[in-house]
Amino acid sequence: MDDYPLLDLFWTMMWLFLWILWFFLLFKVITDIFRSHDMGGWGKAGWTIFVIVLPYIGVLAYLIARGKSMGNRDRALAAQAEGNFQDYIRKAAGTDQQDAGARHVAELSRLADLKNSGAISEDEFRAAKDRLLA
């Protein structure tokens, strides 16, 4: 352990962390280049070549030139994913609030019509209404 002091270990960990962080940023920029809909094929090819051939300058230039729209695309994608998730939850639970209210009203109306036509008795109507509202 004398050959590698603790401070050198901290420096190594810091450089390893920065190296991994750099690759995350590089991959984030490359995926944003291909995800961008406001740029044509030649623009995407140019940015990709620039980012691969001169990675530090290319990523820095991309973040300066298109960083704001990159953030907007990320926010829009996150909002869309959240909306899809909420829709999935509503469908999986079967309790879409607006649809559930409309179903309850329609079912109560149908029960009232059945009671008024004499198809069900008052007791059956109350039992069905209690089950529906429970």
Q: Is the pLDDT of residue 96 over 60?
A: no
**Rounded distance, CA 6 to CA 100, Å?**
63
Q: Using the Cα atoms of residue 90, residue 93, residue 97 and residue 100 in order, give the sign of their dihedral.
A: positive
Q: pLDDT-based confidence at 33, cuts 50/70/90?
A: very high
Q: Is the pLDDT of residue 100 over 70?
A: no
Coil/strand/helix, residue 87: helix
**Rounded distance, CA 35 to CA 59, Å?**
16
Token representation of residue 99: 């649809």
> Best-predicted range by mean pLDDT among 5-9, 69-73, 120-124?
69-73
Q: Is the pLDDT of residue 101 over 70?
A: no
pLDDT of residue 99: 62
**Rounded distance, CA 46 to CA 56, Å?**
15
Q: pLDDT-based confidence at 70, cuts 50/70/90?
A: very high
Average pLDDT over residues 90-97: 68
Q: How many CB atoms lie within 10 A of CB 20?
A: 10
